[in-house]
Chains A and B, each alone.
Chain A
Amino acid sequence: MVLKFETKWEIPFIHSAGEHGTKFFEALKDKKIMGVKCPECGRVLVPPRAFCERCFVDTTDWVEVSDEGEVVTVTVTYIKFTGLPDPPYATGIVKLDGADTGMLCLLGGVDLSDWKKVHETFKPGARVRAVWKEEREGKITDILYFEPVEK
């Protein structure tokens, strides 16, 4: 019989958003989603970043994008993984109006038990809008999830 030992990694981190990133999070408090526009390729990048990877230049032009947009993709997870959300939860990418890139996020506001129905509701191109937290803190979780826009 082989002996086994249990261990755990509990390592605290304090992640800096940086001066640049802080602007995005402050704006979330006002229910505003900000992106940056690359001065060379002109793409509006959300989430914002301090430099455009393609053009390799600083991005300092801040642009407000809508908190509404279209679904790029979705998946519903039904299994519980340690430390991850309780299932079922829907993860997806939403391209907000005004942005050229999509944003990884949670999708919700609907019954998630039948994934085929969820994939129909949130099919690529479906219109969604952000559901905001009542008390916002300047964290990405100020956006609870994106829900379908009723037609």
Chain B
Amino acid sequence: MRRVAVVGVGQTKFRTRRDDKTHPELTYEAMNKALEHAGLDIKDIQAIAYGTMDPFDGIYLPERWDVTSGGIGKPFMKISTGGTTGMTTGLAAYEHVASGLFDIAMAVCTQRVGECVDAQPVLNTAVCPIYERYSGAGAISVAAIQATVHMHKYGTTEEDLAWVSVKDHKNALKNPNAHIKLDIGVEEVLNSSVVSSPLKLLECCPRSDGAVAVIFASEEVAKKIRDNPAWVIAETTISDDYYTGDRPDLSDWDTLAIAGRRLYRFAGVDDPKKDIDVAELYSPFTIQEVLELEALGFAKKGEGKNLAREGVTFPDGDMPTNPSGGVLCANPIGATGLVRLAEASLQIMGEASNQVRDVDVSLAHAWGGTLQFHTLMLLSAKKKLKG
């Protein structure tokens, strides 16, 4: 199988509103940052995979407009899979190169949630109009119902969850691109108002404008571009059936566990706790990091709630997660998955703003839909995980 690596990454600053730029201009900004990082020119990019979650930006199929940022005449493909979009776009660009059809491909995602007056009703349109939409379900309630079950089953407390928020916010302070920069402690999180019980305001992600681009290259080309590329070792996605009520146990994100098992088997990961040095997880709500840690094998079932409080997931802990500040501090929804991949790549390259020590292997994750989708990508400083 053809070896492919990430050779360049570009992120715009994530803010509530990027009024200074239009949609294609924001895309252009991220693309240029990635090109600069890789020391390439737009003419070197042979194909582009573009992703966004259309409805939030108030422009349907914005790629038609954004293609003007360097995509005209190139093979250009739009990927859209809900919250996982950012990472599935990355996955698609990776497959462009892995197939042998291209040597250099770019994934770019742009999201301007800031132009949408209220994001929740948009998310509500994802919920089935015939059977479920009237229940007012949106992204926050869907995470809140997970929290209710996890708390009931494992005694997870509001304070346990607050620690995840404290960690992510502290990490974001070191990330110049992060949207939310708040130096907070557990008290502030617990005192913030309840949005969808039991989740409070400081346990929920913001909505951010921003764009991100990641450049993938084949082995021979990657070597010429940099001597510290981030090699893609494995990728996978998984899809559950549609209805929220079908999930057998909301305290167990079993679809993520299944995807994780497949990824680890393919990559040759024996023990994720030992083999993986840092993870950028998609947790726009504190409870989801807890579920993700358990599903991915970083904690036993019911024990994920302890990791933040015990410092394990802080940058100097045994299993650092979201050193970038994560989704809790910047959420350009359709682009967020690619930001996870970008940050996970920077950690391998040793160029992340909140760099964790000795990173050889990193994991990037995204979830989407109303809990059904997961996408995972595993990166390494070496071409192969072992040997």
Contact = CB atoms under 8 A, between A and B. Distances in A.
B121 A9 contact: no
A93 B124 CA distance: 16
A59 B197 CA distance: 36
Interface in B309-363: none
Nearest to A83: B121
B136 A77 contact: yes
A81 B134 contact: no
Contacts, number: 131
Interface in B181-199: 193-199
Interface stretch (B27-35, B88-96, B244-252, B271-279): B244-252
Nearest to B124: A84
Interface residues of B, number: 44
A84 B138 CA distance: 9
A147 to B, nearest CB: 15
Contacts of B137: 91, 104
A7 B59 CA distance: 10
B124 A53 contact: no
Given A77-B140, A140-B134, A82 B197 contact: no
A85 interface: yes
A111 B194 CA distance: 16
A140 B131 contact: yes
A82 B121 contact: yes
Interface in A73-103: 73-79, 81-85, 89, 91-95, 101-103
Contacts of B36: none
B266 interface: no
A75 B245 contact: no
Nearest to A48: B131
Interface string A116-130: 101100011000000
B19 interface: yes
A21 B130 contact: yes
A73 B132 contact: no
Interface stretch (B143-151, B162-170, B297-305): B143-151
B136 A76 contact: no
A106 B119 CA distance: 21
A78 B245 contact: no
A103 B132 CA distance: 8
B200 to A, nearest CB: 10
A106 B135 contact: yes
Contacts of B198: 75, 115, 119
Interface of B: 19-20, 55, 58, 117-118, 120-121, 124, 127-132, 134-138, 140-141, 144-149, 152-153, 193-199, 241-246, 250
Closest 6 CB pairs between A and B? A102-B245, A75-B144, A115-B197, A81-B120, A53-B241, A82-B118
